[in-house]
A and B are shown apart, each in its own frame.
Chain A
Amino acid sequence: MKETLLGRSGKALLACAIAAAVGLGAWIAMMNGGLLATTSMSNIFNWGLLIAVFAFLVGFGAGGQFVASYVVLGRRERLMPYATVMQGVAVAGAAGAGVAILADLGHPLHMLALLMHPNPASPLTWDMIALTVFIVVAVIGWLALARDWKSKRVWMAIGLVAALALQVVEGCLFALQSARAWWHSFIMPVDFIVVAFVCGLALAVIVSAASKRQDALGAARSFANLLLAFVILHVVLSLIEVIGLAFESTGGAAMALSLIGRYIVLYLIELALPLAAVLFLKVKEVQGDRAAHDHLIGPSKREYAWSSVLVIVGMFAHRLMLLYPALGGATLFTGLSNQPSAEWAYPVSTGFFAGARETWALTQAYLPSPVEWLSALLPLGIAGLIAILAFGIAARWHDRRPMSED
């Protein structure tokens, strides 16, 4: 584990710090310049890139915990060295998600109102509670693993429950909104759990593939096999959702389907890219096994890593696709004197009033502005910083432990 010492991580740490600083600068520019001038959001598309990044990072938070709990509670001794790393990812992902949601608020100075008068009926209140509890539990879990507490299995069990609760609440945050046909489905919370597994396992494959441990390839293979199962599950759930929409025959469902068509490339990146990547690994593994354990034929470390990177790219596309079909168009459909009409949407006041932008519109094409992209570096950079620090500190503690095995 000496490879993980801060010396080697120094450059990555610096890169994350610079990214976070650039993101902070962009966020300050957004706040000062006004969101209308600096972002591409409107009253139609009112949640943008930062919300996608929030959901993306939450996936890694819960996913890191899922992997760590799976390894420790399942007594997967061969994978044990990766549990602490993934627990650090859990802390980093959740903390980064917290930063993303704070940065997305229009009036963050009013946050005291959330602490003083929380509305218990609001899923967003429960989301904040679930995220805060999860961060606390994840930090304790990380300490338990890094310091090798006797109670570490208990903390991994508590962490698993906290991660599941976080993903269910997260899914309900979207699924309970009947105004958005794309979200209003019981599949949403289930898929949030599945996607968290995908994110956590994909990162676990990359971490194990990057490791210089002797059994690194075997660990990557173990994680990759699980990854294959969860990617397939995500694809199946997504297709069920689309089929459900097709049979809904409401205006909202028709709008969502038409928006999926508009962003079909992104949707294919979400579904086909990860599926192709994990199937590629599986095919190479099978070929390798047939060739009597010839490691030259099975997937290399590089192939494991790059395939998992493609899976993560797909999951980022998924988080964007969480928004496009739901927020890209109007939600009120009405015919003459309220005759049922799935075609007649009612225009929305966009908030735009100058230039060539439409004041009233039925749909809005959203492409995050350069400032929005830069502001996303704030939560991503902070998550990276925390993950690398957790990695380095745990490694140091591990090396100082008497009778270290590594």
Chain B
Amino acid sequence: MKYGMIIDLDRCIGCRTCAVVCKNHNAEPEGIWWNRVFASGAPNYATAVAVDGGMRSEFLPVSCQQCENAPCETACPTGATYTDENGVVLVDYDSCIGCRYCMVACPYNVRQFNWQKPQGIPATEGTYSYGYPFEVRQDGKLVYTPDRPEGVVEKCTFCVQYTSEGGDPACCVACPANARIFGDIDDPDSAYSQYMKGLVSPKEPYTLGDEYHTDPKVVYMRSSRKADARVGSEGEVTER
């Protein structure tokens, strides 16, 4: 079994639900985001960019690419970062020494460091916590805990707390546009394989950062959209 994820850029509406739901379900401490959604090339969020004489906006969600050839795993001196039997790159919080070499090695900048002891969220009385409330261990390795230790690195686990029980990652479940498709790459009946089978031109898959030879298991579907509108020199929309 090898888990993979498809992100269909034609479907993504840039609502950032995936980022928020990810943060919530994985108890990501303040300042930590495993999931990011930005418009490619735009200086600000949700701004269109000029392409081929027209304007175009395309949202690109980026989280851990679950690389087959993961530079972070090679870099980790203690083996705290490892690939499990499902092909998911995980971090054992008990073994991470916080050297941050994996962060340096990751070309996607997805790894996040716990720079401080995570605080609860201020509430009317005291603080409250969020996220999946139990520890998850894999062969004794602590791969998820809502009480994140200070001084360790963390990142997307494909929601190991759910996928280990047969479920899907929270971002896939919550996506309102069904832009994220998750499943077993090796299983021809999985949602992942079925989507790939049904693929029609001009959609074509690609992976991020091919120049780094990381062989990601997160695959993007090239957007088939063209520039939406033509804008005149005065800023008026002249054609749609």
Q: Enumerate chain A interface residues (CB-CB to B < 8 A).
A: 34-37, 39, 41-44, 46-47, 101, 104-108, 110-111, 113-114, 117-119, 121-125, 128, 177-180, 250, 326-327, 330-332, 334-338, 341, 343-344, 346-354, 359-360
Query: Does B21 reach chain A (CB closer than 8 Å)?
Result: no
Closest to B58 in A: A336
- Min CB–CB distance A194 → chain B (angstroms): 23
Report Cα–Cα, A317/B112, bound state, in Å. 28
Q: How large is the interface on B (under 10, 10 to 19, 20 to 34, 35 or more residues)?
A: 35 or more
21 sampled A-B residue pairs with Cβ under 8 A: A41-B115, A46-B103, A106-B150, A106-B152, A118-B78, A122-B75, A124-B75, A179-B104, A179-B106, A180-B104, A334-B60, A334-B209, A338-B222, A344-B40, A346-B109, A349-B32, A349-B33, A349-B109, A353-B31, A354-B30, A359-B33
- In the bound complex, residues from chain B placing their C-beta under 8 Å from that of A180 are 104
Inter-chain contact A47/B105, CB cutoff 8 Å: no
Q: Mark B106-145, 1 if CB is under 8 A from A, else 0.
A: 1111011111110000000000000000000000000000
Chain A contact residues: over half helix, strand or loop, or mixed?
Answer: loop
- In the bound complex, residues from chain A placing their C-beta under 8 Å from that of B78 are 110, 113-114, 117-119
Partner of B107 from the list A36, A37, A178 (CB cut-off 8 Å) is A178
Report Cα–Cα, A308/B122, bound state, in Å. 55
Query: Does B199 reach chain A (CB closer than 8 Å)?
Result: no
Chain A CB within 10 Å, residue with most, of B71, B98, B115, B116? B115
Say yes or no: A179-B105 contact (C-beta < 8 A), given A35-B116, A349-B33.
Answer: yes
Inter-chain contact B32/A351, CB cutoff 8 Å: yes
- In the bound complex, residues from chain B placing their C-beta under 8 Å from that of A334 are 40, 60, 208-209
Q: A46-B100, A327-B104, A338-B220 are in contact. List 12 more A-B contacts (CB 8 A).
A: A106-B150, A107-B96, A107-B98, A118-B78, A124-B101, A332-B107, A334-B40, A336-B41, A338-B206, A346-B62, A346-B109, A349-B33
Say yes or no: A36-B79 contact (C-beta < 8 A), given A113-B95, A179-B71, A334-B40.
Answer: no
Say yes or no: A337-B113 contact (C-beta < 8 A), given A36-B31, A128-B77.
Answer: no
Query: Does B165 reach chain A (CB closer than 8 Å)?
Result: no
Query: Does B20 reach chain A (CB closer than 8 Å)?
Result: no
Report Cα–Cα, A113/B94, bound state, in Å. 8
- Min CB–CB distance A338 → chain B (angstroms): 5
A-B residue pairs, 9 tightest by C-beta: A106-B98, A106-B151, A34-B116, A36-B115, A179-B107, A353-B31, A107-B151, A124-B77, A107-B98
Inter-chain contact A349/B36, CB cutoff 8 Å: yes
- Min CB–CB distance B46 → chain A (angstroms): 13
Query: Does B80 reach chain A (CB closer than 8 Å)?
Result: yes
Say yes or no: A110-B101 contact (C-beta < 8 A), given A346-B38, A351-B32.
Answer: no
Report Cα–Cα, A72/B209, bound state, in Å. 50
Inter-chain contact B211/A336, CB cutoff 8 Å: no
Inter-chain contact A125/B116, CB cutoff 8 Å: no
Query: Does B223 reach chain A (CB closer than 8 Å)?
Result: yes
Inter-chain contact A34/B113, CB cutoff 8 Å: no
- Min CB–CB distance A247 → chain B (angstroms): 16
Report Cα–Cα, A347/B16, bound state, in Å. 14
Inter-chain contact B75/A123, CB cutoff 8 Å: yes
Inter-chain contact B112/A177, CB cutoff 8 Å: no
- In the bound complex, residues from chain A placing their C-beta under 8 Å from that of B76 are 119, 122, 124
Say yes or no: A347-B36 contact (C-beta < 8 A), given A44-B109, A119-B79, A123-B75.
Answer: yes
- Min CB–CB distance B186 → chain A (angstroms): 25
Report Cα–Cα, A128/B113, bound state, in Å. 22
Query: Does B97 reach chain A (CB closer than 8 Å)?
Result: yes
Inter-chain contact B97/A178, CB cutoff 8 Å: no
Chain A CB within 10 Å, residue with most, of B31, B36, B103? B31
- Min CB–CB distance B156 → chain A (angstroms): 12
Closest to B98 in A: A106
Report Cα–Cα, A359/B151, bound state, in Å. 19
- In the bound complex, residues from chain A placing their C-beta under 8 Å from that of B30 are 353-354
Inter-chain contact A330/B109, CB cutoff 8 Å: yes
- Min CB–CB distance A328 → chain B (angstroms): 12
Q: Mark B170-212, 1 if CB is under 8 A from A, else 0.
A: 0000000000000000000000000000000000001011011
Report Cα–Cα, A107/B150, bound state, in Å. 7
Query: Does B146 reach chain A (CB closer than 8 Å)?
Result: no
- Min CB–CB distance B216 → chain A (angstroms): 12
Say yes or no: A335-B209 contact (C-beta < 8 A), given A113-B97, A351-B31.
Answer: no
- In the bound complex, residues from chain A placing their C-beta under 8 Å from that of B87 are none
Closest to B42 in A: A344
Query: Does B99 reach chain A (CB closer than 8 Å)?
Result: yes
